[in-house]
Structure 1
Amino acid sequence: MENKRNKFLTVTAAALAVTAVAVVPASAASPFSDVKESHADFEGISTLYAAGIISGYPDGTFKPDTNVTRGQAAKMIAGALKLDTKEVEDPKFTDISASNPYYGSIAALVGLNVITGYGDNTFRPNQTITHGDLAKILASIPTLPELESAKNHEASEKVTRGQLATFIAEALTKSNPETPETPETPETPADAFSLSILHVNDTHARANELPKLATAVKEQREAKKNVLTLHAGDAFNGTLYFNEFHGQADLALLNEIGFDAMVFGNHEFDLGASPEGHQALADFVKGAKFPFVDANADFSADDKFTGLFTDLISSEPENGKIYSGIVKEIDGEKVGIFGLTT
C-alpha cells in the first residue's frame, strides 16, 4: 500500500509559501480562555484568529497543546489559503463523508491537486502529524525562510494545534514581505491639532469618590496640551449625599474639577414629581461654574428655568446656563459640543 502522507504535507506547504495572505498582527488580548499571553504559541494563534483562519471550539477554548490531526491541519491550511470550501467536488475518500467537519477543506485542497491521501483511498483525518513531516515541508520549499517555530523538536514528536498555528502564521508572514509583522505608526504632522477628551458619567452622588476624579483630571491636564472635560449626566440620586443635599454636595466638587460642559441624564429629573418639582435641578444649574448642553430637552414651559435656558448654539456660553450646543475655541480650533438626554 502506497503511503502518500508526506506528499500531502509537502505540497500543501509549498502552496502556502507562495500565496499572499494578509496576516493581522496578534492582539494583546487572548482570543481563547486556554491561550494565555504567556503561552509559547500565543502570537501564532492570535494572528490566525485575527485573520479569521481559526475559531476554536464552541466552549471558547483552542486546546493548543492537543496533537493536531490531518483533518484539522487541512482546515487551517485551507483557511490560510482562503479557499472556497463549499462549492467543491467530492474527494471520494472512503473515510470522509459530506457531513465530516473537514470535508470542505479536504475537498478544496484535493481540487488544487495538493492532497491525494493514502493508497487505500482513505484520508485518515484523525491521524496526527509529527515534526518530521514539518521538517520535510521546510526542506522542499527553497523560497521559504528558515522558521524558528520548526526548530528544536524530535522528528517523531507530535505537532500540537498551537505549534501548527505558529508555523502557518510565520510562513504566511515571511512569504508575504509586503505585510509588515509590526505596523508602522504614521508620523504626526507638526501642525496637527491634538485634543484629549476626559469623559465621565453616572457619578450618582458618590461625592466621596469625586476627589479621586479631580486628581486624575489634574494629572491629565498637566500631561496633555489640549484637554476637554465633559460630564454626560446622572450626577443626581444614588447615595445619602443626594438625599440630604439634592446635588449641592456634588456640585461643589464638580465646580472644583472644572468641567467644560455637562448634559442632563435621566436621573437629573428624578425629583420632578415632588412638591418642589425641578427646583433642585434649577438650583444645580444656577450654581454651576460650567454650561449645560441639551439638544433634545425643552425647559421653556417650566418657569423655574426662566432665564437659564435657550435653544440656541452659543460660541460665548455662560456658566450656569443651558444651551442646545456650544462652540469652544481650543488652541485656535473651533470645537462644537452638544448633548442628548436619553
Structure 2
Amino acid sequence: MSVATEQDSSWKEILDQYFPEFMAFFFPKIYKDLDWSRPPEFLDKELEQLFNEGQAGRRLVDKLVKVYRLGTAEPIWLLIHLEIQGYADPTFAQRMFIYYYRLYDRYFQPKGIDPGSAGRLDKVVSLAVLTDGNKRYHPKQFHIKEWGFELSFKFPSVKLLKYNENWAALEANPNPFAMVTMAVLRMHQNKRKPPEERLNAKLGLTRRLYERHYSRKEIIDLYRFIDNIIRLPEELDQDFRREVIRYEEEEAHMPYVSSIERLGREDGLKEGLEKGTLIGRQDGLKEGLEKGTLIGRQDGLEKGRQEGTLILILRLLKRRFGEQLPEVEQALSLLSLTQLEALGESILDFSNQTDLTLWLQAQGQA
C-alpha cells in the first residue's frame, strides 16, 4: 500500500468514527444546527456511483453524509458533501461546483434517489478542508461573469495551515481533531528536516495522546492516524515503536497501543513479533516470529500472530497479577487469535485474577 493510499485511508477512518467531532472542530456553527441524536449516515456508495473517479482528478478524501436539522417539527435532513483536499489544485473550486450541481440534480429531481428514511431533504451543502502545505492556496469560490450572466458558488473552506497561528489553542483543545490537525502541521513542519526531528515530533504527539486523558479507543484511533501521517525511515520507525512501548510500560502505565495494535506496515508479506508487539518486517515471502532474536519460523502469518499475541497476553498478565499457573497458561494457549485479541482488551478492565478466571470460564477454557 502506498503512502498516499494509507493517508487517504487514515482520513476516511477518522472521519467515519468521529464525524460529529470533526464538524464541531472545523465547522462549529453548522455543528450547532444539527441533531446529533440521529447518527450521521455515510452515502459513499452513492457518491461513487455519481462520479467517475477516472475523470474526477486526484483527491485525498471525499464524503457524502446525511445529517438532520435540529429543532424541526418533522425530520428534515441535509446532505453534506465534504472534500479533504491534499494538494494545490487550480481547478478545485470548479470541481466543487460540478460535484454540487450533480448532487443537487440527482437528489432534487422528482425521480431522484432518496437516501432512504422518513423526512424531507432540505439542502445540499459543500464543505472543504485543505491539508496541503501551500500558504497561498485557499480556494473558497467558483465565479463566472460574462454579458450580464453571473454565477457565484461559495463554499466554507478550512485551511489547516492557519491553525499554526495559534498552536497553544490546539494544545488546549480536547477535540480529537485538534490532534489530527497538529499531526498534519507537524508533518509539514518537519517534511524537509532530518528524520530525527520527525521522530521527535511523532513521539511528542504520541505522548500527548496519553496526557490528554483520551479514552483507550481514541488513543488507538489517533495513534493510527499519526503513524500514517508522519512517516519515518525503517530504522527510526523501529526506534519510535520501542520508545512507545517503553513509555506505555514505564510512564503512562496504559498498554493500549502495544497490547492491541499490530505495529508496523510493510508492502511485503512478512510480519514479526518484537518485544511483545507485532512489528512488520519484510524478508521476501516468509513470515517469522521475532522476539529480540529470531526464535523460530512459522508456517504462516496467522500462526505467527497468534503466538505473538499469546506471549504478549502472558506478559501483560504477569505485570498485572503476577506469574500465571501452568494450567492458566495451558488454557490461554487453547484460545483462538480472535479470543486472544478480545482478552487483550478485557485485561485492561480486570481488577484481579478472579476476573481472568471468570473470563476463561465464559470461553469454555476453565
TM-score tier, shorter chain, comes to under 0.3
The structure, 1 or 2, with the larger RCO (C-alpha pairs under 8 Å, 6+ apart) is 1
Task: Give the structure with the higher percent strand.
Answer: 2
Using structure 1 for the length normalisation, give the TM-score: 0.27
Give 1 or 2 for the bigger CA radius of gyration: 1
Using structure 2 for the length normalisation, give the TM-score: 0.25
